[in-house]
Amino acid sequence: MRVVVVGAGVMGAWTALWLRRAGHAVTLIDRHGPGNQLGSSGDESRITRSSHGPDRFYPVWQRRALAQWRELEHAAGERLFVQAGVVWLVSPGESFEAESLVSLTALGIPVEQWSHDQFAARVPVMRPDGVPWALFEPEAGALFARPAVSATIRQFEAVGGEVVVGRVEPPRAAGSGGSGGGGPGGLDEVQLDNGRRLAADAFVFACGPWLPDLFPALLGDLIVPHRQDVMQFAVPAGDGRYGADAMPVWIDFGGSFYGFPSFDGVGLKACPDWLGPIERPDDSAREVAQSSIEASRAVLRKRFPALGAQPVVKSWTCFYEVTPDAHFVIDRHPGFGNAWIAGGGTGHAFKHGPVIGEYLAALVTGNASTIAELGPADGRFALHAREARQGFRTSGRNPLEDAPG
Ligand SMILES: Cc1cc2nc3c(=O)[nH]c(=O)nc-3n(C[C@H](O)[C@H](O)[C@H](O)COP(=O)(O)OP(=O)(O)OC[C@H]3O[C@@H](n4cnc5c(N)ncnc54)[C@H](O)[C@@H]3O)c2cc1C
């Protein structure tokens, strides 16, 4: 089978790799090139953690995916993951961590419950004020996102995959000007902005926050791009307390904040998790709002007092591609029988990249046993209108911002 995969972020790269491993002829196309920094996967670091409250589906995917990331790391011969652990700072009245504790224990995934005093002793550089207890995932940590996607694409090329740089135009139905193997109701080919056409038997569109631009009628309401501001703050020179061997990745779920240790000895990441402004990626000025920097500084003053006035050493923006219920979209296009859509990462898809690719490759090729093994029983990834679900990873708003006026 010949397959064209559009989008070389984490979803497209892993789908292409799995399809190529299964012996198919695969072309991976990206408008900004493989391993680019403009897609959602192009950031420096991403959290991989098992906790998902009462949900027991995502933790299983995450553990499987982490094993595959580690295999990739071994094959690539470079550091792609740091097992720094992830600590969840419980807010009074928040049930997410207690539910996660029950789920992970039932699934046999290592997890620890720390009292307030244990948290203070285990992570002495963080102030524990207002944290009654903490949940710690010792086997979780940080993935180096852009290098990990680049390594995935290098593996894909090493096994004979083809990479093309170019922007794919919104696809047109078979019989509307193209020719090829899509058949009735299928897609024959895609066309690039330079006029080049690529025919295939099957197509995958994994275009991150650009998906609604390609399929506005289908995805305009289902996947909404929110600009997220990302910042790293300078750590005092030579102070080893902020390194990954001294402190874990941390998530304040109730407070909608998260952060990473300093991996390079220079910068500690601290970012809001609430949804930023809705912007089309191509129209976005990609400028970090001053209010986001101030909000991060306020959190640093509370948790890491020595960093409250430190300079921002790095800042950039990327996009949460948000679905109403925070579940991804992995499904066949309703109008093109041989085209598949993968996206809607909603701020938590990176870690699952290898398994998203494995599952999607199985859907494309009709591999029934893998579909049965990996597919969700509740149809959560289907392309249909969804009910909004509050409080899942993307709750909250910047308290420093004025109400929209
Ligand atoms: C600030 C932030 C923090 C996050 N934190 C985490 C985290 O801690 N853990 C986690 O698991 N997830 C996290 N996520 C979510 C995760 O990063 C994303 O869900 C995931 O990277 C999305 O990958 P993707 O492949 O769907 O999209 P992308 O990475 O955006 O890839 C899409 C690709 O498609 C290409 N493309 C688009 N249109 C076209 C076209 N017409 N023709 C050709 N190519 C095209 C683009 O150039 C791009 O390279 C976070 C996201 C953000 C923004």
CA geometry: angle 310, 120, 313, nearest 5 deg: 15
Take residue 100 and report the two structure tokens written for it.
């996660």
Domain annotation covers residue 400: no
- Pocket lining: 320 vs ligand 1, CB cutoff 6 Å: yes
User: What CATH number did the domain enclosing 6 receive?
Assistant: 3.50.50.60
pTM for this model (two decimals): 0.95
* Residue owning tokens 């680019």: 36
Dump pLDDT digits (tens) for 167-195. 999 998 655 444 344 555 799 999 999 99
- Pocket lining: 349 vs ligand 1, CB cutoff 6 Å: yes
Q: Which pLDDT score, from 0 to 100, does residue 94 have? A: 87
Domain annotation covers residue 405: no
Segments forming the whole domain that contains residue 272: 2-374
Domain annotation covers residue 399: no
Domain count, the chain: 1
Residue nearest to atom 16 of ligand 1 (CA): 350
Domain annotation covers residue 123: yes
Domain annotation covers residue 381: no
- Pocket lining: 230 vs ligand 1, CB cutoff 6 Å: yes
Dump pLDDT digits (tens) for 194-204. 999 999 999 99
What is the 228 CA–ligand 1 centroid distance (Å)? 12
Residue nearest to atom 15 of ligand 1 (CA): 347
Domain annotation covers residue 379: no
- Pocket lining: 36 vs ligand 1, CB cutoff 6 Å: yes
Q: Are 343 and 220 contacting, i.e. CB atoms less than 8 angstroms apart?
A: no
Domain annotation covers residue 177: yes
Dump pLDDT digits (tens) for 255-314. 889 999 999 888 999 999 999 999 999 999 999 999 999 999 999 999 999 999 999 999
- Main-chain phi, psi angles of 149, to 5 degrees: -70, -40
- Pocket lining: 73 vs ligand 1, CB cutoff 6 Å: no
What is the 279 CA–ligand 1 centroid distance (Å)? 15
Domain annotation covers residue 398: no
DSSP state, residue 345: -
What residues have CB less than 8 Å from 273, skipping those under 6 apart?
Answer: 251, 256, 257, 258, 347, 393, 394, 396
Dump pLDDT digits (tens) for 221-270. 999 999 999 999 999 999 999 999 999 999 998 888 999 999 988 899 99
- Pocket lining: 32 vs ligand 1, CB cutoff 6 Å: yes
Q: What is the CA radius of gyration of the chain?
A: 21
- Pocket lining: 46 vs ligand 1, CB cutoff 6 Å: yes
Q: How far is CA 94 from CA 111, 115, 263, 344, 391, in A?
A: 18, 15, 30, 26, 10
Give the C-alpha separation, 70 to 79, whole Å: 9
Among the atoms of ligand 1, which is closest to the Cα of residue 7? 34
What is the 319 CA–ligand 1 centroid distance (Å)? 7
